[in-house]
Amino acid sequence: MSLPHAILTALLEKPSSGLELTRRFDKSIAYFWSATHQQIYRELGRLEAEGYIRTLPAEQPARGQKKNYEVLPAGRAELARWTAAAQDPKPQRDVLLLRLRAAAVVGTAGLEADLRRHLELHQRQLAEYEEIQQRDFPPGKDAPEDRLRHLVLRAGLDLETFWTQWLTHALEELGELPGTP
C-alpha cells in the first residue's frame, strides 16, 4: 500500500503530470521506494477512481495532452492517516547475505569479485548521496520540511556508510580464510 502514499506525497509537494511525476520520482523517492512508469500511471488511475486525486482542468483542450494531477482533501486525509499509523519494520531479505551463508557450505568461488562489485556500487551511491546533501541541504536550511527530507537522506547516507564498511570488513575476512586466493 506504500506506492499510493509515495505518489500522494509527491503530488502534495507539487501537482504534476504522470511523466513529470515519474521523473521526479526517479530523482528522489526512488532512492528508497522504486516504481516503474507503468506502476505509477496505473496507481494514478486508482487514486483518481478512489477520489484521492483529480486531473486538473487543461488550459486548452487538446488531444493527447498530458494530464496534471493534484491531491484532493480525501487524499491528504488518507496520507495523514497512513503517516500517523504504526507499522512494524519489514524483515530484511538480502541475496548477498544468503549467498555468504551458502558459501559456508559450498565454497567461496566467485564471491570476492562480487563483494568488490557491491562495494563499488555502494561507494558510488554514497558519493551520490553526499553530493545531494551538499547541494540540497546547506547549513542553515532548517525549515521543518527540509529537516524531515534531510533525515530521509541521512538514512541513505548511513545505510551506504554501513554497507561500505561492512563490505570492506567482509573482504578482509574472506582474504584471511584458508584456501582463499
> What percentage of the chain has pLDDT greater than the value 70?
94
Given pLDDT bands bounded at 50, 70 and 90, which one contains residue 85?
very high
For the four alpha carbons of 158, 159, 165 and 168, in that order, the dihedral sign comes to: negative
Given pLDDT bands bounded at 50, 70 and 90, which one contains residue 64?
low
pTM for this model (two decimals): 0.80
pLDDT digits (tens, 9 = 90+) for 23-57: 888 888 878 888 888 999 999 999 999 999 999 88
- List of residues 6+ apart from 119 with CB closer than 8 A: 163, 164, 167, 168, 171
Given pLDDT bands bounded at 50, 70 and 90, which one contains residue 8?
very high
Grid cell, residue 50, equals 478512489
Q: Give the number of other Cβ atoms within 10 Å of residue 46's Cβ.
A: 13
Mean pLDDT of the chain: 90
Q: What is the DSSP string of 1-55?
A: -HHHHHHHHHHHHS-EEHHHHHHHHHHTGGGTS---HHHHHHHHHHHHHTTSEEE
Per-residue pLDDT for 1 more than 60?
no
The whole-angstrom separation of Cα 113 and Cα 181 is: 11
The whole-angstrom separation of Cα 158 and Cα 133 is: 12
Q: Are 129 and 149 in contact (CB under 8 A)?
A: no
- List of residues 6+ apart from 112 with CB closer than 8 A: 171, 174, 175, 180, 181
